[in-house]
Chain A
Amino acid sequence: MGALPRKRTLVNGERNPVEAAVPARSPIGNTRDRVLEEIAVHINGDTDIVAARQKGRVLAGTLGFSSSELTLIATAISELARNIVLYAKQGEIVLRVLERGEQRGIMVRAGDQGPGIPDVRRALQGGFSTSRSLGLGLPGVRRLMDEFEIESRVGYGTTVTARKWKR
C-alpha cells in the first residue's frame, strides 16, 4: 500500500515549505517537529468523540493556551472525530505536543480506513457535504487551526492533520 501514489493536499502549510517535500508516505509529514508527548484515542462511536476532545483540551492546557484557544482546539477535535464516526465508523485520533524551533503547539491527526473523499478540494469548500453533517466540518476545522493538511484516497481512507501553535 505504501508504494501506491497518494493524493495529498496541503492547505495552510505554506509557512513551512519543507513539508511539501516530505514523501507522501510519511505518516505526519513534518520531520522538523519534535514530539514531546502523544496520546491516541480510538474512535468507535459518538461517546469517543467527547473523550477525544476532553483529552485534547487537557493536553493543550499543559501548553498554556488561553481558554478561548482551548475551546477552539477541543471543537476542532470534535469535528474531526465526528467525521470519522459519520463516514468511516471507526478510526483514531492522535494528539501530540510538538516543538518546532522556539514554538510549541498541539497536533491533532484524525485517521481512518473509511471510504475516502473523492473530491478533497470540494470538501474543503464551505457548504459541501455528502452526509448528514452541515458540511462545515473540514473548512471549519481549517479556520480554527493554524495548519491543516488532508490526505485521502478513495477506498483506502482519510488522514487529516491539523496543528495549532502557542502564540
Chain B
Amino acid sequence: MEVPILKQGPYLIASIQSALSDADLVQLRDALVEQVGRLRSRGVIVDVTALDVMDSFATRTLRDITFMIRLRGAETVIVGIQPDVAFTMVQLGLKLEGVPTALDLEEGITFLSKKDGSPAKETNSRER
C-alpha cells in the first residue's frame, strides 16, 4: 500500500494510513527523498499514528529517511508514535537517535517552522 504524500506549503506530509510492508516503507523512503528535492521542500513530516508496530526495520527506515533528507538539505520530523509502540521500541533498544519527534501533525509543523526560522504559527510560546 502506497503512502500518500501531500505538499503543504514548504513541507511534505507523509501520512501512513495502515500497516506497511518492508517494500512499502522502502517505497516511501525513495519517494520522499526524490520529492523533497523536486518540490524544493524545507521539511518533511512522517505521521506514524496509524502504525501499531514499529520494529527494527521500520525504525531503521525512518532513520534512513531522516538522514537522507538531511543530506538533501531539509529536516524531517516523525510524529504520532503511540505510547505502546514507544514503550516497545525502547525495550528493543530502538531509540531513533538523531531523529526529531513530535506529538502530532500540529506539533510537527511547529517544530519545522521553528527550525527553518519561518514565521509560521507559534502555537505555544506566550508571555506571562
Are chains A and B touching directly in their complex (CB below 8 angstroms)? yes
Binding site for B on A (CB under 8 A): 46-47, 49-50, 53-54, 57, 67-68, 70-72, 74-75, 78-79, 82, 85, 126, 133-134, 136-137, 139-140, 143-144
B47-66 contacts to A (CB < 8 Å): 52-57, 59-60
Q: CA of A92 to CA of B120 in the docked complex: distance in angstroms?
A: 51
26 example contacts (A-B, Cβ-Cβ < 8 A) are as follows A46-B22, A47-B23, A49-B21, A49-B22, A53-B53, A57-B52, A67-B84, A68-B83, A71-B52, A71-B82, A71-B87, A75-B53, A75-B55, A75-B92, A78-B53, A78-B55, A79-B55, A82-B55, A82-B56, A133-B56, A133-B57, A136-B92, A140-B56, A140-B93, A143-B92, A144-B91
Q: CA of A54 to CA of B100 in the docked complex: distance in angstroms?
A: 28
As a 0/1 sequence over residues 83 to 114 of chain B, the CB contacts with chain A under 8 angstroms (1 = contact) are 11101100111100000000000000000000
Q: CA of A144 to CA of B60 in the docked complex: distance in angstroms?
A: 19
Question: Is B6 at the interface (CB under 8 A from chain A)?
Answer: no
Given contacts A46-B21, A46-B23, A49-B21, contact A72 B52 (CB under 8 A): no
Given contacts A47-B21, A54-B19, A68-B87, contact A74 B92 (CB under 8 A): no
B8-63 contacts to A (CB < 8 Å): 19-23, 52-57, 59-60
Chain B residues touching A, range: 20 to 34
CB neighbours (8 Å) of A79 from chain B are 55-56, 92
CB neighbours (8 Å) of A144 from chain B are 88, 91-92
| Min distance, Cβ B119 to any Cβ of chain A, angstroms | 39
Contact B56 A136 (CB under 8 A): yes
Given contacts A133-B57, A137-B56, contact A68 B88 (CB under 8 A): yes
Q: CA of A143 to CA of B92 in the docked complex: distance in angstroms?
A: 7
Of B20, B60, B87, B91, which is within 8 A of A134 by CB? B60
| Min distance, Cβ A66 to any Cβ of chain B, angstroms | 9
CB neighbours (8 Å) of A47 from chain B are 21, 23
Known: A136-B56, A143-B91, A144-B88. 10 other contacts (CB 8 A): A49-B21, A68-B87, A68-B88, A71-B52, A71-B84, A75-B55, A75-B88, A82-B55, A133-B57, A134-B56
| Min distance, Cβ A131 to any Cβ of chain B, angstroms | 11
CB neighbours (8 Å) of A137 from chain B are 56
Of A50, A70, A72, which is within 8 A of B91 by CB? A72
| Min distance, Cβ A38 to any Cβ of chain B, angstroms | 22
| Min distance, Cβ A59 to any Cβ of chain B, angstroms | 15
Q: CA of A82 to CA of B22 in the docked complex: distance in angstroms?
A: 9
CB neighbours (8 Å) of B53 from chain A are 53, 71, 74-75, 78
As a 0/1 sequence over residues 110 to 125 of chain B, the CB contacts with chain A under 8 angstroms (1 = contact) are 0000000000000000
CB neighbours (8 Å) of A75 from chain B are 53-55, 88, 92
